[in-house]
């Protein structure tokens, strides 16, 4: 069996998730904490990362090893760099625009970058997605979301 990059990355992700789970357990609990607790969301993220890493490692181990993984075209790397640039722009704009506008912009930008048809449906998807994420974090989990420097949303 040949160790592929997917297998190595998957095993590393599982190890990092285990460390993240352990670190989340050391978060001090407050007398005012809710049923989820201060460590609830970090532990959910650790489980999600561990599960994703496990799937990636298994997929890499079961993949036929014919060919080489180093044959990725430059365009694939540029495409990934473009997504990273969109995410970096989101991080930069989040404090200015606030969570709702920034996440709506992120959804629309990634959709456009992926080639989804531009138009009213894409904008509606961004607005709807932002509303769902805001409801999930702010309303359901009680996490206060950044309002932004403009303070208009």
Are residues 36 and 88 part of one domain? no
Are residues 57 and 30 part of one domain? yes
Structure tokens at 135: 């409801």
Three-state SS sequence of the chain: CCCCHHHHHHHHHHHHHHHHHHHHHCCCCCCCCCCCCCCHHHHHHHHHHHHHHHHHHHHHHHCCCCCCHHHCCHHHHHHHHHHHHHHHHHHHHHHHHCHHHHHHHHHHHHHHHHCCCCCHHHHHHHHHHHHHHHHHHHHHCCCCCCCCCCCCC
Name the domain count of the chain: 2
Average pLDDT, the chain: 83
pLDDT value at residue 26: 79
pLDDT value at residue 16: 92
Q: Which domain holds residue 135?
A: 74-153
Mean pLDDT of 47-70: 80
Residues 8-27: tens digit of each pLDDT: 888 999 999 999 888 887 77
Are residues 65 and 87 part of one domain? no
Of the pLDDT bands very low, low, confident and very high (cuts 50, 70, 90), residue 35 is low
Which has more confidence, 151 or 135?
135
Are residues 22 and 34 part of one domain? yes
Are residues 126 and 97 part of one domain? yes
């Amino acid at each position: 069996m040949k160790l592929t990059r997917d297998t190595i990355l998957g095993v590393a992700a599982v190890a990092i998730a285990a460390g993240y789970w352990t670190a989340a357990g050391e978060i001090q609990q407050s007398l005012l904490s809710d049923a989820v607790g201060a460590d609830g969301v970090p532990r959910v993220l650790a489980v999600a990362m561990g599960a994703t890493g496990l799937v990636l490692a298994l997929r890499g181990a079961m993949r036929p090893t014919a060919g080489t993984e180093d044959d990725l075209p430059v365009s694939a790397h540029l495409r990934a760099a473009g997504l990273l640039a969109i995410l970096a722009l989101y991080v930069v704009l989040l404090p200015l625009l606030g969570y709702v506008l920034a996440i709506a912009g992120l959804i629309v930008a990634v959709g456009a970058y992926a080639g989804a048809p531009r138009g009213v449906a894409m904008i509606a998807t961004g607005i709807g997605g932002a509303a769902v994420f805001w409801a999930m974090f702010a309303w359901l989990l009680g996490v206060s979301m950044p309002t932004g420097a403009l303070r208009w949303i």
